[in-house]
Amino acid sequence: MNEVRNIVLVELDTTDRAILNELQIEGRITNSSLAERVHLSPSACLRRVRRLEDSGVISGYTTLLNRAAIGRSTTVFVEVSLTGQQEELLAEFEREVGNCPEVMSCHLMAGIADYVLYVVADDVEDYERIHRTHLSRLPGVAQIRSSFSLRAVCEKTSHHLG
């Protein structure tokens, strides 16, 4: 999670933004189709994509799963408060929380909770297992508050770049 602090801001022109918008919509697009959509030659388009990858603007490619189709239809947002704010405790918590496969994301917060976790589970009983065997055993945990999502109203996987 500390990786964000080391990122260097990259200047993006209109064509870079168009490439990134298209790749967020369709990550498996061929280079020739991408080049056509952003009005570049295939070689120029490939150079730009590689530059965006090398600079860290494109950090990777992934496949989105239909969680209900694989039995992971329960979404839980978990607020975690720690026993203290010592840098070593925060670092230890952050190292260990990443080892829980059901934790999809973890965010350091300003406010009442120290962290908010996005957790996926098969069902309520599965979340109870995750809570008992993983979350409650994380370093420095003082309190856990869980909120179950009834349904997603809006979910996005892309950020439109003007």
Q: Do 86 and 136 share a domain, yes or no?
A: yes
Residues 46 and 90 in one domain: no
Q: Give yes or no for residue 42 having a pLDDT over 80.
A: yes
In this model, does residue 102 exceed pLDDT 70? Answer: yes
Task: Read off the pLDDT of residues 5-34 as tens digits, 9 standing for 90 and up.
Answer: 567 789 999 999 999 999 999 999 999 999
What pTM was estimated for this model as a whole?
A: 0.84
Count of structural domains within the chain: 2
Polymer length of the chain: 162
pLDDT at site 29: 97
pLDDT at res. 5? 57
78 and 14 both lie in a single domain? no
- pLDDT score at 6: 67
pLDDT, residue 135, reads 98
**pLDDT value at 113 more than 90:** yes
Residue 43 shares a structural domain with residue 111: no
pLDDT tens digits, 54-73? 999 999 999 989 999 999 99
Answer yes or no: is 161 within a domain: no
Same-domain status, 132 and 103? yes
| pLDDT at residue 2, rounded to an integer | 43
**Percentage with pLDDT > 90 across the chain:** 88
Whether residue 143 is predicted with pLDDT greater than 60 in this model: the reply is: yes
What average pLDDT is seen over the chain?
94
How far is 23 from 26, CA to CA, in rounded Å? 5
Does residue 99 share a domain with residue 49?
no
Residue 144 shares a structural domain with residue 71? yes
- Give the domain CATH number at 23: 1.10.10.10
- 109: amino acid identity, one letter: M
pLDDT at 4 over 90: no
Residue range(s) defining the domain that contains residue 73: 67-148
pLDDT > 70: percent of the chain: 96
- Give the per-residue SS3 of the chain: CHHHHHCCCCCCCHHHHHHHHHHHHCCCCCHHHHHHHCCCCHHHHHHHHHHHHHCCCCCCCCCCCCHHHHCCCEEEEEEEEECCCCHHHHHHHHHHHCCCCCEEEEEECCCCCCEEEEEEECCHHHHHHHHHHCHHHCCCEEEEEEEECCCCCCCCCCCCCC
User: On the CB side of 65, how many CA atoms lie within 13 Å of its CA?
Assistant: 9
Same domain, 72 and 122: yes
Tell me, what amino acid is at 82? L
**pLDDT value of residue 8:** 78
Q: What is the mean pLDDT of residues 106-120?
A: 97
CATH of the domain at 135: 3.30.70.920
Say if residue 48 is in the same domain as residue 87: no
